[in-house]
Structure 1
Amino acid sequence: MSVFDDPGLFGRLWAATYDGPGNPDPAPAVDFLAPLADGGPVLELAVGTGRVALPLAARGLTVEGVEASPEMVAQLRAKPGGEHMPVTIGDMADVPVAGPYRLVFLVFNTLFNLVDAERQAACFRNVARVLTPGGAFVVETYVPDPADFDRDEQVQVREVTEDSATIRLHRYDRAAQTFVRQTVTFDADGVHLRPFAMRYAWPEQIDEMAERAGLRLAERYADWDRTPFDADSRAHISVYRNR
């Protein structure tokens, strides 16, 4: 059994630093999502620390979350408004809530955290189950670029100080469309490992999963500002509608 079969692994390893510098501003996402909510209620899969869900709820919408990591939820609870947000602890692929919801969203490449193609497909099927007729499922991911993984392994130096050194290593399986990443820190206390994995997919493959689940692609943009999506876009915001 792989450690990546544990849906709470990411949060357990990264919750304490997840809201550190470098995260994108959630405001454009909130501005995009709020009108699609159509009054709500709204569900965020992998709600994490609530960086999008909490400002969306501040717009007056009823927002709920699914999150596999209690550590992430603890960070959410510590924020203003977080103590009142309903969050179900569970695997986002199972969508372990009843609904129905006018809007479900899954942002910041998190679909790819499901490292098995069938689990990704199950996520779409279960979202369709809890969406109202005509309800929206919004997915944000990067568009894979083969130039980013033109070799089987990659090594990056992340940080070097007088007290520690951190390197990041990737190993790619291009046939399976997966990679394993290991962030390794060496310091006076020893060696610290933070593993991570993804199964990436191209937009047309995500569309196929949606179609098989009974969802249709309604809109696609290159970013939250609704920049038109084209062959050079490095990311996509896709809006799928329940039939």
Structure 2
Amino acid sequence: MAQWYEKSFGDDYLIVYKHRDMQGAYEEVRRMMEWLELPESSEVLDLCCGMGRHALALTGFGFRVTGVDLSEVLLREARKLDTKEEVRWVQGDMRHVPLDGPYDAVVNLFTSFGYFDDDAEHEQVLREIYRVLAPGGKFIIDFLNPEYVKEQLVPQSSRMEGTLHIEETRRIENGYVCKTIVLQEDGSEERRRYEERVKLIGLESFQRMLAASGLTVDHVYGGYDASAYEPQASRRMIFVGRRE
């Protein structure tokens, strides 16, 4: 049986999340550059690159970028956006990255983590990040803040994209934040349904997994404004660190 992440990142995903823009990605990458402190022409891996917004922004800062994602649909969109063919796009599973590196930095952004049922698989992703990093290489993992999600969860929302009605229902279930997305064309009886499911991994558990994988955390930020992580107030939980 296909897992949710094998079904949800298709053509409809591009519609549901079309509001994410390149300017926002550029601003986030600009902050990341201050954290990573890498020279131009450094090799950077965007692990779970999606439709490539951050990977393309990274090239604008002079880096040589590789984007890896499981979804061929999202990679197809990334290749269309990459009109200058500046990024190397590779299809692959984050648990078994089909590359050897070494990379000067690996970034995993916008909660592209916590997808699996077993923490051993989450740890396997971190070991892969360690494996493909050069000694001294940097990493950024941008994850949701579990405490904030629990307190601020919006149970239901709906909106229109053209003639398409999008309804999103959110809940906390067995330690995961779960979202059900239902799409229905105006005047049609057909309803397309998708699930998203991310484990609410707390700060201490995440730090233990990182340490067990050989990765050292230098900073934990609560957002791209470089604010300190505060469990109740921060929207994000962003780990910045390195492979020794």
TM-score interval w.r.t. the shorter chain?
Answer: 0.7 to 0.9
* 1:180 alignment partner, SS class: strand
Q: CA deviation digits over 1:70-118, x for unaligned, max 9?
A: 1111111111446342121011122221100110000111113345422
The within-5 A match list for 1:175-214 is 177-187=175-185, 188-214=188-214
* 1:20 alignment partner, SS class: coil
Pairing partner for 2:129 from 110, 127, 130: 127
Q: How far apart are the structure 2 equivalents of 1:214 and 1:117?
A: 16
Structure 2 vs 1, CA of residues 81 and 33 (structure 1 numbering), >3 Å: closer, same or farther?
farther
* 2:217 alignment partner, SS class: strand
Q: How far apart are the structure 1 equivalents of 2:16 and 2:98?
A: 24
Q: How far apart are the structure 2 equivalents of 1:121 and 1:227?
A: 27
Q: How far apart are the structure 2 equivalents of 1:83 and 1:27?
A: 18
* 2:24 alignment partner, SS class: coil
Pairing partner for 1:87 from 78, 83, 89: 89
Tell me how large the CA RMSD over aligned residues is.
2.6
Contact 1:65 1:86 in 2 (8 A): yes
Paired position in structure 1 for 2:237? 236
Contact 1:117 1:199 in 2 (8 A): no
The within-5 A match list for 1:1-243 is 1-4=1-4, 7-17=5-15, 20-22=18-20, 25-35=24-34, 36=36, 37-39=38-40, 40-81=42-83, 83-145=85-147, 146-148=150-152, 155-159=155-159, 165-174=165-174, 177-187=175-185, 188-231=188-231, 232-243=233-244
Give the count of matched residue pairs: 235
Compute the TM-score of the two structures, normalised by the length of structure 1. Answer: 0.84
* 1:29 alignment partner, SS class: helix
Q: How far apart are the structure 2 equivalents of 1:55 and 1:114?
A: 28
Q: How far apart are the structure 1 equivalents of 2:86 and 2:160?
A: 41
What percent of counterpart residues are identical? 23
